[in-house]
Each structure stands twice: as structure tokens, then as C-alpha cells.
Amino acid sequence: MTADELTVENTQPASVKRFNDDSTVSEPLKKAKVDVVDFETELDNFDIAELDVDDETDEAMVISSPAENSAPVGQGLTVKQEEEKLDKLHFQSLLKIFYQRLFPFNDFYRWFAYGDVQKNYFAKREWSFELASEAFIRFQSYSNAEELKNDILRLCPVKMDIGAVYNIQPNDKRTIGPGAFKPQERELVFDIDMTDYDDIRTCCSGGNICHKCWDFMTIAIKIIHRVLTEDFAFKHILWVYSGRRGVHCWVCDESARKLSADARRAIVSYMEVVKGGDSVARKVQLPKSLHPSLRRAYDVCHRHFQKTILEDMDVLGSPDSWNKLLQAIPDEDVRRSLHQEWSSNTNMPAIKKWGRLQGELKSKKKPHTSTTERDLVFQYTYPRLDINVSIGLNHLLKAPFCVHPKTGRVCIPIDPDRCEEFDPLNVPTLGKVVEEINAFVGEADLATDARRKKVQDYQKTSLEPHIEYFKRFLANIAEDIRRTQRAKQDLSF
């Protein structure tokens, strides 16, 4: 099943409608190159992987009926609904300015064309859009940056996702038989979502974040980036803030883009440490002798454990949280002894409680408890990976420099070497960067015309250092491609 264009009946739960009358289709969707889907006849062929999207969408694909939030038939909108409508209109007007003046379309072409070494490589890339109407358009493709920009300015999507490079241009997928349309390549990607830490977090939950729990993302970047660069020798890695509650990682080396699903699964399995759902108490069970990569990861986890887990999360601060931790200890006597001691000494500092846990485990001198303390440190700090995101070639991931529709924050790159300095609550926002453009225009009245012409719009805003970082990232890829091409030419002589 494809989902290139969807609309919803106002009188029933979410469903897909075949467009028989142009009057029922919004103007942007009339012009889009789409597949029209009959839900009932396509249901048997439905492939959930085709609708796999990144962490910031609450469902794989959300199609809600406008009737769910509207006033009864024949009545006007409530005051709250009018305010929400005005807010959405304001957001869309600012978003249009953002796409027109700030979004780095040419840089995106440089990125996804990869030096134009392979013919039509950019054109075979899937682009996916979610519109303000909640319509979700998949399998769009473009020959160049200008085509991409024109379509985005016309559609003004609230969300952009990027997919794989296919064997033909995704726009032409209907011209070949079922099953013939296949993904060929895509970057190796990782998606770290803060909600996967909700069983540990005591400060926030769901989509909410704060400086305390953001440390989980910092730890994840440190560990995963080191593994990718040192253990797998990847060089071109882009970390991006998701705009709300997580981070995305794009590994762009040619060798990474050509990885098979099995190879991607092997890489993720190599990294995976925390396993098991909510019903599993002990999610980490590693051998006594650790692989060198895990020993280096443990050094990072251990350095963060006291401040992040014992102090900021205060996981030993209440019976509910400390009992959750104690359940991971495979010795009933230790669990019971510590629970009784901590319950009778409610003012005992967390660091002292952890010291008592260490002492109890060492006193047992049993094989099954010898690694428990170390495994608890891993369980509470090690990155939690969404395996399916990394394995599937046809998975969609949000484009960098998008604006998150719920927070207004721009999805900016994160320098892994300075990830501890990154503040997710102080990134450029849609409203802020548009204001900065306007403020710059006012100041520029005193400057010369020549000076104004030299300053690009993004340089007038707080996006400048982030777009410059992105440009340097692309320059490194371009230099690597040129070096590889020169080497191939030398070998041909």
C-alpha cells in the first residue's frame, strides 16, 4: 500500500477516500504527483514498513478526521478552536518565510547527490511530506534543488522525511509492476528517542525534556559516535537534534550507504546492550570479560552515572524507584536487606545507598552477582536503540533543518565533539529566526546596498553557525569523493 495522498471523510473515523471530484481536493494536493489509494482494496497488500517514520510522529501514520475537533454541524467554532486555527495559520505563514529564505535547498542537493558520481542519484531519493491538513504524501522525487524548493514552497509541509534511494525515481513507481520498486541504498541511520528512557526518567516523561534528562542523549552521542568512528572507521557522520525529544544520526560514507539489511542488523547487534521491555527487570546481562568496545563505553557510562542517575534522576530516592532497580539484582537476600535498610533510613544520601549496594554484592562473592553492579550502570545509562530504524532501508527519517511543528524548534546539527555544550532548550526557533531577519533588514537600512547583497539570509539569524557546520560537513564529503575519483582514475592508467 502506498500513501502518497490521503484525505479524510468528515463524517466518519479516519479513512482513505478515492478522489473522484477535484472539488474535494485541496489545491496543493491537486498539483502533487500522487498515488490515489483505495483503502479497502489495498488492505491485503499493506506493508507497515512503508509507513515507518521517525520518533517524533506518535504513530506510523496519523490520519485524523477534521470532524473530531470541529464544532457540531451548523455551529461556528468555539473560541479555543478559533485561537488554534489562528495559531496554525500564523505557524504556516512563518514556515513559508522559512522555506523561502532560510532552508538550505542547495546544500541538500549537494548532500544527496554525493558529487553526481551516480547518474540520477538525487532524483531516485524518496521525499515524504506531512501537510498542515494532516495529509501524508510519500514517494515524491526531484531532479534538482529548484524542483524540490518549488514543491516545498507550494505544499508548505509541516514535516519533511527523507527515505531511501530506489531503483527508479519514486514518482514513477506506478509505471512498474508490484514488487519491482525496491530501495537500493540509504545512509545508515540511528534514532535515539527520550521516551525509551521513561522507565528511568524521574524528571520528565513523554515528549517533555529538561537539562537533567538530556544527559542521556549526550551519553548516547559519545558512545555511538566513538563506535562508528573507531570500530567501523566511518568518517562522515551527522548528528541532528530532532526538534523535540531525541537525536538522529546519519552515517553518510559510501560504504555505509551500500550496506545490506543484514549488515545493518549486524552493526546494530554489535552495539545493542539494553534488551527487553517493561516486563524485564534485568535488561543487561553481559559476560564477565567485556569486549574492548564495551569497556570504553563503560568508562563513559560510569563517569555519568553518579550525577545523572543517582543525583539528577534520584533513582534511589523513593521505594518505587529503588525497588525497580533492586529487581534487577539476582539475589533475593540482597534485595530484601537493602530495601529494609533504605526504608528505615529515608534520609540516607543516594551515593551512600549505592555504596551499600556495592558492599552487599561484593560480600556475596557469588558468580551470578559478580557483574551485577557493572550491568546496572549499563542498564541505566547505555544508549537505547530503535533497531528497526537502522535496519530498514525504506525507513523515513526527519530532514535536518526542519521545524518541529509542536515546539517550533529547528532541527539543527550537533557537533559530537562538543555535545555536552548542546542545549536543546536554547536552539533557534521558527519565530526567532524570522524576527532576526526582520531585525537585520531594519539595521541594514544604514548599510550600503553592496553590503546587503553580500549577506545571505541565514547569516542574518542564529542559524548561521549551524548551517556553516553543515556546509563544512558537506565539504568533507565532497573532498573524500574527489579523492576517491582521482584514485580510480590513476588506477585506470
Q: Looking at the annotation, which residues are catalytic?
A: 126, 191, 193
The residue to which cell 484525505 is assigned: 7
Q: How do strand 183-185 and strand 159-166 relate by DSSP bridges? A: antiparallel
Instruction: Check if the beta carbon of residue 278 is closer than 8 Å to that of residue 199.
Output: yes
The residue to which cell 530506489 is assigned: 166
Closest residue by Cα to residue 118 from 465, 481, 487, 401: 481
Which element (helix H / strand E) includes 443?
helix 430-444
Q: How many Å apart are CA 209 and CA 203, to the nearest integer?
A: 8
Largest distance between two CA atoms of the chain: 81
Q: How many Å apart are CA 339 and CA 388, to the nearest integer?
A: 38
Burial 404-433 (b: 16+ CB within 10 A, else e): bbebbbbbbbbebeebeebebeebbbbeeb
Residue ranges with strand state E in 205-325: 237-241, 246-251
Instruction: Check if the beta carbon of residue 165 is closer than 8 Å to that of residue 393.
Output: no
